[in-house]
């Protein structure tokens, strides 16, 4: 399973990527939307973990751009801000179960990743 | 005071208003003062003219009555004088006519004089006798019951008076000179009076007098036929104050009139006086010209004003009843109006509190969301770093032996988890504040609230039991407001159970299935009955000095009302309090909140 991590907090994504690697999940991390799009152009990912509030572009718009390049990719939104509009927008975009509030427990995250992967596998 | 007990219930609430002279929630007016002022002003405006009119009317009526009395007395006296004068004149002229119609010699004839007396008696009645007196004062002829012929009158006052008159006007042959005597008893011992007429012979020569005595009976009749009214009477006195005709109250003939002789006047006069018996009297009098008589009409004022007195007291009763009615109506209306203003003002204040409270909550919501967000990011980093350390221990064997470090990392992760729980609750709280009507299940709302309070409950040794069956349908309501309601009520319950206790929350569907009835019972200190009725009023608090604002239950009441529900309270001191909140299943059935907003 290949996962793309996008968050402006480098400390957070780098550590998270390392921890996922330890659990056998290939994780690539970037800190802005340009890098994210480049990565998508370069490689293929199963799942993207997007921060809702990125510096220049929000996670929802980024999702649409990525989706245009790799339509089979799945998305999980990550936010530190539990505001109503974020919640509603993300729920509408990908269902409320794909919306996680920071800080996330690693076990919860890996379980969610495996679950999505399994769903994808079933479909294929 | 015990008598007032049943009316205590009707005492308008603004009379219990606590004085609050400053602060943001100062009432618009001092209602007690407003009430007193409006009553005073209205009463003054209504009663002052009423009293003035009544007083003026009283004075005018009394004056009119007095002057009417005086006028009537004067008129009667004047009429009586005319009658009496006419009566006396008539007799004087009759005598005078005799002197013109007869020569001295004819009059000196005994038979002729007797005949004339007969004729006078036939025509004018009450003639007693008739005598002829010559210029020497000797009675030369007499007709009547006594043998008094030959008596000499020259030394008597009346004779002298007429004689002097004759001296002055000797040449005025046609002038009539006459004299009317006082009434006296004489030898006959019956009251009578004497009229004398002087005759000058036209051809010159000695004068002579014709003298007649008359019974007083006719005078009495004339006087007694005057309708004086009540206990009043009419009688004659002479100019020396001797009573001439009998009087009921002032003495008999020849006695002295006790009130004295009134001063001479050509016209009829009246005066008021207190008589010798202590009665207030109106006296009308008239001097009867050319006689020694003064006509007196005496009326007792008390008799005459009796009718006035009864009218007067009727008016007074009417006035008193009117005043009572006016006072009752004015007090009633003022109380009603001021109470209405008071109620509106209370509603205005309650809305103000509520608006402010909602504002405050919204600010807290925004603040907590911001704080939560800012903390969540570093928290996530701590979480991941600690997680990484733990992972290193777990996945790489070289660190695995150090159990102590693993424990420390676990502790960090655990603390991060606690912080995350708090920020999540804050975010949840902030989200709820902004939401309006949505579908919620009561058990979720109560559960959220209790989650906040769980530590506090454990700390105070309070056991909480919740019985909200899943079969109860979801509410369409304002989640944030519901949450506030339960936060306030549960906080109050906790505050009442300082030494621990049990809190029970139970819900059930109403019989008609349109409402959810929730009871919140505690086993706390309870509320005394006298406080129960004021418990939902703003600023009513028993927690003074311990930070209570007295707004909690008032706001709760406002919120429940706004949600279309109702709230009631029962309490027994030292046993506990049960609050019942009834909420409609759907807020839509109550499109307009019954809680009218008055504040802008």
Q: What is the pLDDT of residues B269-319, one digit of tens each?
A: 988 888 888 888 889 999 998 888 999 999 887 766 676 777 778 888 988
CA–CA gap between residue B166 and residue B169 (Å, rounded): 5
**B539 in a structural domain:** yes
Among chain A residues, the shortest Cα distance to B383 is held by A103
**B214 in a structural domain:** yes
Asked if B385's CB is within 8 angstroms of A81's CB, the reply is no
CA–CA gap between residue B505 and residue B465 (Å, rounded): 6
**B466 in a structural domain:** yes
Question: Using CB atoms, which residue from B369, B391, B416 is nearest to A103?
Answer: B416
CA–CA gap between residue A67 and residue A78 (Å, rounded): 17
Asked if B382's CB is within 8 angstroms of A103's CB, the reply is yes
Among chain B residues, the shortest Cα distance to A83 is held by B431
- Check which CATH number belongs to the domain holding B226 and give it: 3.30.450.20
**What is the reported pLDDT for B176?**
66
- Give me the number of domains chain B comprises: 2
Q: Chain A window 4-23: which residues touch B at a Cβ cutoff of 8 Å?
A: 9, 11-12, 15-16, 18-19, 22
Please give the structure tokens belonging to residue B49: 């003219």
* E-only strand ranges, B224-383: 233-238, 269-274, 280-287, 293-300
**Parent domain of A28:** 2-123
- The average pLDDT across B536-550 equals 59
Mutation for testing the B interface, residue in A82, A104, A109 having most B CBs under 10 Å: A82
CA–CA gap between residue B321 and residue B54 (Å, rounded): 13
CA separation (Å) from A88 to A81, A98, B377, B418, B445? 12, 12, 21, 26, 20
CA separation (Å) from B562 to B277, B512, B595? 85, 21, 6
Decide: A110 and A100 in contact? Cβ < 8 Å: no
Question: Using CB atoms, which residue from A80, A82, A106 is nearest to B377?
Answer: A80
Question: What distance in Å separates residue A92's CA from the closest CA in chain B?
Answer: 17
Q: Over 90: is that where the pLDDT of A3 sits?
A: yes
- The average pLDDT across B105-130 equals 88
Question: What distance in Å separates residue B444's CA from the closest CA in chain A?
Answer: 18
**B369 in a structural domain:** no
Q: Over 50: is that where the pLDDT of B592 sits?
A: no
β-pair type (B515-522, B501-509): antiparallel
DSSP letters spanning B178-226: EEEPPPB-TTTTS-EEEEEEEE--TTSS--EEEEEEEESHHHHHHHHTS
Q: Over 80: is that where the pLDDT of B416 sits?
A: yes
**What is the reported pLDDT for A91?**
60
- Give me the number of domains chain A comprises: 1
End-to-end CA separation in angstroms for chain B: 43
Among chain B residues, the shortest Cα distance to A53 is held by B373
CA–CA gap between residue B390 and residue B407 (Å, rounded): 9
Question: What distance in Å separates residue A122's CA from the closest CA in chain B?
Answer: 30
Please give the structure tokens belonging to residue A32: 């802005």
Q: Could you tell me which residue, B71 or B405, shows the higher pLDDT?
A: B71
Q: Which of B552, B466, B455, B535 minimizes the C-alpha distance to B502?
A: B466
Residues B101 and B247 in one domain: yes
Q: Over 90: is that where the pLDDT of B327 sits?
A: yes
Q: Over 80: is that where the pLDDT of B554 sits?
A: no
Q: Over 50: is that where the pLDDT of B508 sits?
A: yes
Q: Could you tell me which residue, B5 or A88, shows the higher pLDDT?
A: A88
Q: Chain A window 79-108: which residues touch B at a Cβ cutoff of 8 Å?
A: 80-84, 87, 101-106
Show residues of chain A in contact with B372, CB under 8 Å.
80-82
Decide: B245 and B220 in contact? Cβ < 8 Å: yes
Please give the structure tokens belonging to residue B104: 């001295």
**What is the reported pLDDT for B436?**
59
DSSP letters spanning B256-282: BPTT-PPPP-SS-EEEEEE-TTS-EEE
Q: Please tell me whether the overall predicted TM-score, pTM, comes out greater than 0.80 for this model.
A: no
Asked if B369's CB is within 8 angstroms of A102's CB, the reply is no
Question: What distance in Å separates residue A20's CA from the closest CA in chain B?
Answer: 10
**What is the reported pLDDT for B10?**
63
- The average pLDDT across B165-187 equals 67
State CA B521 to chain mean position distance: 52
Range of weakest confidence among A1-15, B4-18, B260-274: B4-18
Question: Using CB atoms, which residue from B376, B387, B428 is nearest to A102?
Answer: B376
**B579 in a structural domain:** yes
Show residues of chain A in contact with B427, CB under 8 Å.
81-83, 101
Among chain B residues, the shortest Cα distance to A81 is held by B373
- The average pLDDT across B522-539 equals 79
CA separation (Å) from B384 to A104, A107, B293, B404? 8, 12, 142, 20
CA–CA gap between residue A48 and residue A58 (Å, rounded): 14
**B447 in a structural domain:** yes
CA atoms lying within 13 Å on the CB side of residue B38: 18
Show residues of chain B in contact with A87, CB under 8 Å.
431
β-pair type (B566-572, B139-143): unpaired
CA–CA gap between residue B48 and residue B268 (Å, rounded): 43
Give the SS3 label for residue B177: strand
**B396 in a structural domain:** no
Q: What is the mean pLDDT of chain B?
A: 80
- Check which CATH number belongs to the domain holding A74 and give it: 3.40.50.2300
- Check which CATH number belongs to the domain holding B536 and give it: 3.30.565.10
**What is the reported pLDDT for B8?**
54
**What is the reported pLDDT for B589?**
38
Show residues of chain A in contact with B387, CB under 8 Å.
15, 19, 106
End-to-end CA separation in angstroms for chain A: 15
Show residues of chain A in contact with B432, CB under 8 Å.
none
Among chain A residues, the shortest Cα distance to B388 is held by A19
**Which of these three, B276, B302, B328, is where a domain ends?**
B302
DSSP letters spanning B393-425: HHH-GGGTT-HHHHHHHHHHHHHHHHHHHHHHH
Please give the structure tokens belonging to residue B34: 């407003």
Decide: A15 and A43 in contact? Cβ < 8 Å: no
**What is the reported pLDDT for B44?**
93
Q: Over 70: is that where the pLDDT of B348 sits?
A: yes
Q: What share of chain B is helix, strand, coil (3-state, %, to 5)?
A: 50, 20, 30
Q: Over 70: is that where the pLDDT of B101 sits?
A: yes
Give the SS3 label for residue A76: strand
**Which of these three, B302, B337, B365, is where a domain ends?**
B302
**What is the reported pLDDT for B302?**
73
Q: What is the CA radius of gyration of chain A?
A: 13
**Which of these three, B247, B277, B302, is where a domain ends?**
B302
| φ, ψ of residue B210 in degrees (nearest 5) | -110, 130
**B555 in a structural domain:** yes
Decide: B315 and B54 in contact? Cβ < 8 Å: yes
**Parent domain of B514:** 436-600
Strand partners, B216: none
**Looking only at Cα atoms, what is the longest distance across chain A?**
36
Q: What is the pLDDT of residues B137-162, one digit of tens each?
A: 888 899 888 888 888 888 877 777 77
Q: What is the pLDDT of residues B361-382, one digit of tens each?
A: 677 767 777 787 788 888 888 9
Please give the structure tokens belonging to residue B196: 């004398």
**What is the reported pLDDT for B506?**
92
**What is the reported pLDDT for A8?**
87
CA separation (Å) from B498 to B173, B219, B542? 134, 111, 14
Decide: B457 and B465 in contact? Cβ < 8 Å: no
With residue A122 as reference, give the H or E element that holds it: helix A106-123
Asked if B391's CB is within 8 angstroms of A102's CB, the reply is no
Q: What is the pLDDT of residues A4-63, one digit of tens each?
A: 999 988 888 999 999 999 889 999 999 999 999 999 999 999 999 998 888 888 888 888
CA–CA gap between residue B216 and residue B541 (Å, rounded): 101
DSSP letters spanning B124-142: H--EEEEEEE-TTSBEEEE
Decide: B495 and B546 in contact? Cβ < 8 Å: no
Q: Of B18-22, B53-57, B298-302, B431-435, which has the strongest mean pLDDT? A: B53-57
């Amino acid at each position: 399973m290949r996962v793309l991590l996008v968050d402006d907090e480098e400390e957070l994504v780098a550590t998270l990527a390392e921890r996922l690697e330890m659990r056998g999940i290939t994780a690539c991390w970037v800190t802005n939307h340009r890098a994210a799009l480049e990565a998508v152009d370069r490689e293929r990912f199963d799942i993207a973990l997007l921060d809702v509030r990125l510096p220049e572009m929000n996670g929802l718009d980024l999702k649409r751009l990525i989706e245009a390049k790799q339509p089979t990719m799945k998305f999980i939104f990550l936010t530190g801000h539990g505001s109503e509009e974020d919640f509603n927008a993300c729920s509408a975009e990908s269902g409320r179960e794909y919306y996680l509030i920071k800080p996330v427990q690693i076990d919860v995250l890996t379980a969610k990743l495996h679950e999505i992967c399994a769903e994808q596998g079933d479909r294929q | 005071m015990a008598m007032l007990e049943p009316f205590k219930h009707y005492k308008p609430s603004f009379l219990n208003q606590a004085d609050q002279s400053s602060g943001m929630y100062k009432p618009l007016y001092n209602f007690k003062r407003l009430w007193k002022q409006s009553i005073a002003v209205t009463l003054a405006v209504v009663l002052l003219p009423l009293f003035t009119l009544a007083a003026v009317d009283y004075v005018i009526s009394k004056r009119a009555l007095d002057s009417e009395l005086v006028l009537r007395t004067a008129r009667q006296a004047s009429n009586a004088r005319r009658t009496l004068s006419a009566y006396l004149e008539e007799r004087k002229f009759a005598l005078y006519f005799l002197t013109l119609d007869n020569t001295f010699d004819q009059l000196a004839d005994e038979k002729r004089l007797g005949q004339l007396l007969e004729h006078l008696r036939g025509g004018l009645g009450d003639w007693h006798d008739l005598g002829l007196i010559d210029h020497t004062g000797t009675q030369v002829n007499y007709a009547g019951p006594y043998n008094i012929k030959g008596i000499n009158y020259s030394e008597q006052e009346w004779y002298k008076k007429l004689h002097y008159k004759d001296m002055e006007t000797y040449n005025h042959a046609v002038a009539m000179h006459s004299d009317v005597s006082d009434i006296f008893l004489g030898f006959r011992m019956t009251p009578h009076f004497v009229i004398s007429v002087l005759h000058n012979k036209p051809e010159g020569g000695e004068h002579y007098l014709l003298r007649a005595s008359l019974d007083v009976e006719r005078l009495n009749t004339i006087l007694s036929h005057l309708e004086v009214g009540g206990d009043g009477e009419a009688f004659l006195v002479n100019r020396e104050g001797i009573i001439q005709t009998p009087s009921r109250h002032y003495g008999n003939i020849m006695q002295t009139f006790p009130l004295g002789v009134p001063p001479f006047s050509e016209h009829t006069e009246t005066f008021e006086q207190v008589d010798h018996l202590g009665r207030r009297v109106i006296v009308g009098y008239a001097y009867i010209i050319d006689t020694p008589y003064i006509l007196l009409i005496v009326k007792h004022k008390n008799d005459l004003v009796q009718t006035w007195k009864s009218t007067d007291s009727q008016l007074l009763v009417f006035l008193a009843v009117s005043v009572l009615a006016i006072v009752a109506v004015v007090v009633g209306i003022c109380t009603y109006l001021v109470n209405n203003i008071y109620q509106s003002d209370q509603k205005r204040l309650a809305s103000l509190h509520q608006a402010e409270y909602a504002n405050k909550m919204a600010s807290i919501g925004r603040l907590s969301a911001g704080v939560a967000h800012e903390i969540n990011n570093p928290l996530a980093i701590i979480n991941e770093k600690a997680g990484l350390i733990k992972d290193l221990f777990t996945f790489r064997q070289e660190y695995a032996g150090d159990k102590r470090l693993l424990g420390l990392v676990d502790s960090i992760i655990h603390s991060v988890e606690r912080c995350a729980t708090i920020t999540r609750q804050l975010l949840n709280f902030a989200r709820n504040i902004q939401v309006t009507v949505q579908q919620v299940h009561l058990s979720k709302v109560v559960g959220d609230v209790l989650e906040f309070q769980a530590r506090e409950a454990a700390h105070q040794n309070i056991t909480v039991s919740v019985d909200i069956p899943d079969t109860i349908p979801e509410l369409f309501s304002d989640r944030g407001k519901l949450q506030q309601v339960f936060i306030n009520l549960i906080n109050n319950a906790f505050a009442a159970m300082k030494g621990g206790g049990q809190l029970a929350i139970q819900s059930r569907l109403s019989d008609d299935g349109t409402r959810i009835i929730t009871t919140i019972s505690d086993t706390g200190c309870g509320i005394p009955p006298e406080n129960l009725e004021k418990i939902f009023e703003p600023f009513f608090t028993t927690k003074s000095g311990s930070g209570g604002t007295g707004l909690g239950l008032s706001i709760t009441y406002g919120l429940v009302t706004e949600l279309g529900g109702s709230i009631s309270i029962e309490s027994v001191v030292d046993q506990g309090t049960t609050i019942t909140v009834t909420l409609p299943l759907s807020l839509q059935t109550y499109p307009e909140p019954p809680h009218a907003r008055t504040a802008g």
